[in-house]
Structure 1
Amino acid sequence: MEAPAGTSEKVGFSPWSKLRETAIGAGRKLRKIGTDDPRRILHSLKVGLALTLISIFYYVKPLFHGLGASTMWAVLTVVVVMEYTVGGTLSKGLNRAFATLLAGALGLGAHQLAALCGDKGEPILLSVFVFLLAAMATFSRFVPEIKARYDYGVTIFILTFSLVAVSGYRVDQLLQLAHQRLSTIAIGVATCLATSIFVFPVWAGEDLHDLVALNLEKLANYLEGLGKEHFGEKMETKKMVDLTFLQSYKSVLNSKSIEDALANFARWEPGHGGFGYRHPWKHYLKIGALIRQCACSIEALNAYISIAENDQMTVTDEEFLQRIRADCAAMSSESGKALAELAAGIRQMECPLAAVQHMSRAAAAAGGVKTAAPAEDASMPEVLRSATTASLLSEVVRRASHVVAAVEELSQLACFKRPENSHKAGAINPVAGVESPPHVVVYIEK
């Protein structure tokens, strides 16, 4: 007998099948997380290794008797200090070590000073010390420079000082207790640093370096694809919304928080690979900000083109339209090539000399748009659409010229190597006034 139509019953359904599907889905998700970045798996193994090494101090009796019950602080230190990148581990580790040392010393001093006031005055004076230092340290966390680099250290300072000052009132051997805790925390920090630096290290500086290059590549792919697919011969074949590969630039708009975190951690890292100790990491933030400004201009251009494609319009001046389209194609293509050269130069740490040439061609095309004049019988909506598109694209060219100049400055600060057989070096300076069209000035060293 057939089941009635519209029934929602599933043949053979059981809670076990639903549990099986959930387990399979979770397994696929975990597999994707591991395959997207295999370093995550290595980091998990490193944390396990660090905890195993530090546990030896708890299991071996001679080591345990030397440090006492404070050995557990070493285990806790590994758990809270171990970070994904070397810079993150160094930041937390050094903050924790120095904050513990400073707070412990001040706590002992406060205890000794309060003891001079007698049994009745000691708790009162200790309470005053805890109040004042905790209030001042907490207020210091609102200072942007301290918040960015030393926020964790200030938190540990407040915690350690409060523990030492308060517990010192009831503990007789306070100096021994402080020494044991400081020693165990130092051991935990040293274990984290050794594991993070010498066992498959993940450098925040390299990640920041690659992220900036990747963002440049995304903008370059969009601009080059726009020149071919929209302004080129394939202009009428597909709409912008159907070209999914042109949407990758959107992720650049939300990259600020990642760049700030990586730059902060990179400043803690020692020299490694092609990056020296004084590598200009702050300049990467400047480049990242300029890249996002360029991406915002691209977003405005992309939105306008997508909307304009839905409006059917009769062409009344084919020559003017072809002139604007050719100049826009040149601006888009040459700007994309310039950004692609910047990305390649950053990855290889070479001076992107070819980017200057591409940018000068894009600037020349942007200037050529100004000289294009429509026919007298051209329809006003058609002229406005072409002029608006060219104006938005000219703004992208202007933004891209600032990126080129910033990367050129980075190559000088970071001492990028010069390509072989390069006889002439160019330097690009963006020039854009209120009255003048977007353009660049190119200086050639003879």
Structure 2
Amino acid sequence: MEMAAAKGAQNGRSAPEWRVTVPEGASAMGEHEAGRAARAWAWLVSCVLTFRDKVLGFARRVWKIGADDPRRAVHGLKVGLALVLVSVFYYTRPLYDGVGGAAMWAVLTVVVVFEYTVGGCVYKGFNRAFATASAGVVALGVHWIASKSGDKFEPFICSGSVFLLAAMATFSRFIPTVKARFDYGVTIFILTYSLVAVSGYRVGALLAMAQQRISTVSIGIFICLAVCVLICPVWAGQELHRATVHNMEKLAGAVEACVEDYFAAAEVNNRQPSAKADGYKCVLNSKASEDAQGNLARWEPAHGKFGFRHPYGQYRNVGAAMRHCAYCVEALSGCIRSAETQAPAHAKRHLADACTRVAAQCARVLREASSSVSTMTTSRSLDLAVAETKTAVQEVQANLRALPANLLMDAAQLFTVTSLLINVSTRVEGVVDAVDTLASLAAFKAADDEKPAESGTKVCNP
């Protein structure tokens, strides 16, 4: 580094001037390090912002799940309350002394038995109680037989019983009736019997252990049922009932929207299908949910309008009839949205009014049936709507016969759409038949029975 000072004698300047010489390459190195630091800082800020966006997105999804159905949040609180109540038996000395160290089984019972719906809770509670009691009794009997056979044969009898009963119980799970109603109980039976039988060979007080196990499981089941039924209960039967009504409404909207979109495309180019036209998809995807809710609803006690022997199985028949109709609507929607050549405009205009009327009548029939199921009353206008649908179908068939024969090849897609629409109207009648059977089995009331009797005198407001 060099330093130079220059003095100005003429103008009286006495302050020195400093000059610094920087080695070559030092400035470039500083800029490079500054660039690396800036990139590292930008990367760190980007990571923090990405993490923040993911956390906020996850929080919004969780909030939406709870906002869509607040009962889900309530269910979490109910589970927490049940665990707090059952923990009293573990943390309180007098209660702990009464049930012993087996109090932990009550806690485990709450964890595995508590379900979202009352039917699910009753199903698991009954299966767990019956399986635990039966497995304990069988294990005690086998242990008594083994103890009488001598020390030489006792381990063989215990091991053989575990093998035989576990194999038979596991095979029974393939039986449809057992699979649908007692699958969970079979699993608990295998678990309980294996634990009791194997430990019974080494434990002297086998009877006391079995009693503690049954009592603590019973305590856990009782607390689960009390909390599930008494605090904001969610009934599987009501969920199945509402889902059936909702799917019927969606199917009605899909039939109407598909036909409207097809004939509106002739007037408006590049018209996008409406969202209602996809309503049939929820019907096609409802079978698993209907089967599960129908099986759980059988375990529920009478509540509200649902009696003890309410025909929940018929709801699955109604759902099957709706899916039979939805498959035809799906074919209709696929034909309408296909990229094939559209039919001549004048042919579509010739059939537009009649086909739209058939679709509207089919939607009306489905909505009338949905209203009948929703209110659990018989509808007088349902049969009238079915009759008007048949009349509209006859009109469509007459208009088809009136078309010139030379349009058959050019209007092939139009004829396909029309034939599918007629098929939909036939399958809608199948839905009505299933609803009529449900109304008969569930003893739906007449619509007039729900209306209060009108007084003969009228009161005039001043």
Give the TM-score of the pair, scaled to structure 1.
Answer: 0.88
CA distance, structure 1, for counterparts of residue 413 and residue 284 of structure 2: 26
Contact 1:78 1:189 in 2 (8 A): yes
Aligned length: 413
Pick aligned residue for 2:273 from 234, 242, 254: 242
Alignment match, 2:104 = 72
Q: Distance in 2 between matches of 1:421 and 1:203?
A: 26
Q: Which residue of 2 aligns with 1:329?
A: 356
1:241/1:306 contact within 8 Å kept: no
After superposing the two structures, state which structure 1 stretch, 267-276 or 234-243, moved more. Answer: 234-243
> Is the Cα contact below 8 Å between 2:90 and 2:103 reproduced in 1?
yes
CA 1:419 to 1:52, structure 2 compared with 1: closer, same or farther past 3 Å? same
Alignment partner of 1:282 is 2:313: yes
Task: Summarize the alignment of residues 47-446 of structure 1 with structure 2, pairs less than 5 Å apart.
Answer: 47-231=79-263, 236-237=267-268, 241-307=272-338, 311-315=341-345, 318=346, 321-371=348-398, 372-376=400-404, 378-420=406-448
Distance 1:149 1:66 in 2: 34
Give a deviation string over 1:96-130, Cα, whole Å, max 9, x none: 00000000000000000000111111001111111
Tell which deviates more after alignment, 30-39 or 378-387. 378-387
Amino acid across the alignment from 2:410: E
Cα deviation, residue 225, structure 1: 2.8
Q: What is the Cα deviation at residue 83 of structure 1?
A: 0.4
Following superposition, the deviation at residue 235 of structure 1 comes to 5.2
Name the CA distance, whole Å, in 2 between partners of 1:291 and 1:23. 41
Q: Distance in 2 between matches of 1:9 and 1:404?
A: 68
Structure possessing the higher radius of gyration over alpha carbons: 2
Q: 1:293 to 1:189 in 2, by over 3 A?
A: same
Residue 239 of structure 1 contacts residue 306 of structure 1 at CA under 8 Å; is this kept in 2?
A: no
- Larger deviation, residues 267-276 vs 345-354: 345-354
Residue identity in the other structure for 1:218 = K
SS state of the match for residue 292, structure 1?
helix
- Match of 1:373, SS state, is helix
Give 1:70 deviation, angstroms: 0.3
Structure 2: 5+ residue runs without aligned partners? Answer: 1-30, 451-462
Deviation at 1:242, TM superposition (A): 3.1
Cα–Cα, structure 1 residues 250 and 129, in superposed 2: closer, same or farther, change >3 Å? same
In structure 1, what is the Cα distance between the partners aligned to 2:331 and 2:60? 37
Cα RMSD of the aligned pairs, angstroms, is: 2.3
Point out the more displaced range, 377-386 or 178-187. 377-386
Residues 418 and 10 of structure 1, relative CA distance in 2, 3 Å threshold? farther
Cα distance change on mapping 1:321 and 1:22 into 2, 3 Å = closer
Greater mean alpha carbon deviation, residues 368-377 or residues 356-365: 368-377
When structure 1 is superposed on structure 2, of 264-273 and 353-362 the one drifting more is 353-362
- On the 8 A contact 1:230/1:236 being kept in 2, the answer is no
Q: Aligned in 2, Cα 1:254/1:375: closer, same or farther, shift over 3 Å?
A: closer
Cα separation, partners in 2 of 1:393 and 1:15, compared to 1, 3 Å: same
Whole-angstrom CA distance in 2 between matches of 1:257 and 1:12: 47
Q: Which amino acid aligns with 2:341?
A: D
TM-score, with length taken from structure 2: 0.85
CA distance in 1, matches of 2:405, 2:153: 96
Structure-1 separation of matches of 2:271 and 2:245 = 25
Residue 35 of structure 1 is matched in structure 2 by 67
Give the distance between the partners of 2:40 and 2:372, measured in 1 at CA: 59
**Which whole-Å CA distance do the structure 2 matches of 1:18 and 1:282 have between them?**
50
Corresponding letter in the other structure for 1:343: S
The CA deviation at 1:299 is 0.2
Q: 1:420 aligns to what SS in structure 2?
A: helix
**AA in 2 matched with 1:403:** V
C-alpha contact (below 8 Å) 2:343/2:411 kept by paired residues: no
